[in-house]
Amino acid sequence: MKYIADSSLFIIGKRLEGRIITVPSVVDELKDENARTIMELLDARVEPPVSGFLNKVRQKADATKDSEELSAADIELLAKALEYSEREETTLVTDDFAIQNTALHLGIKVMPAGQRIIKDILIWEKQCIGCKRRFPGGDDCPVCGSPMKKIRKKWRQ
Ligand SMILES: [Zn+2]
């Protein structure tokens, strides 16, 4: 069994029977020393994504409107999971709702890394495209009047 893992697996440190694979951008996101150590203990293999699969993921995410919630690292992770799931049994391990949602649309099997409930993890906020201030909601910035876009709030600082 192969597991394609995002940072949550390494933050939580869950043990899995099988080969664990991740992508370089997920490793770059791991600021926490413990998480990097767990990644080494789990003997995770780091593989760059393949461009053809990146394109497939982007197309699907655009179609399902998940694209604005997905970071470059998320897209890479999904591309790696899609690549493996087309040839063998693969599970994508992530607690991120936008990744889970896109994965299901792509026919990729998913499992959460932790016991958390999705709604407790995923926090959205709006960011003004003009002054870059952040607000809990709304369409236009109350300070400068520019439109605001939906962004994912980091749930682990
Ligand atoms: Zn503004």
State the distance from the centre of ligand 1 to the C-alpha of 7, rounded, in angstroms: 31
pLDDT recorded at residue 51: 95
State the distance from the centre of ligand 1 to the C-alpha of 153, rounded, in angstroms: 17
pLDDT tens digits for range 84-132: 999 999 999 998 888 988 898 899 999 988 755 444 445 578 899 999 9
Does pLDDT of 155 surpass 90? no
The candidate with the shortest Cα–Cα distance to 102, out of 125, 79, 121, is 79
State the distance from the centre of ligand 1 to the C-alpha of 125, rounded, in angstroms: 14
State the distance from the centre of ligand 1 to the C-alpha of 136, rounded, in angstroms: 13
Domain limits, CATH 3.40.50.1010, in the chain:
2-111
Report the CATH fold assignment for 2-111.
Rossmann fold (3.40.50)
17 or 77, which is more confident: 77
pLDDT recorded at residue 121: 43
Read off the pLDDT of each residue in 16-34 and give the average, rounded to a whole number: 91
Contacts of 1 (CB under 8 A, 6+ apart): 16, 17, 18, 19, 89, 90, 91
State the distance from the centre of ligand 1 to the C-alpha of 62, rounded, in angstroms: 26
State the distance from the centre of ligand 1 to the C-alpha of 127, rounded, in angstroms: 8
Does pLDDT of 156 surpass 50? no
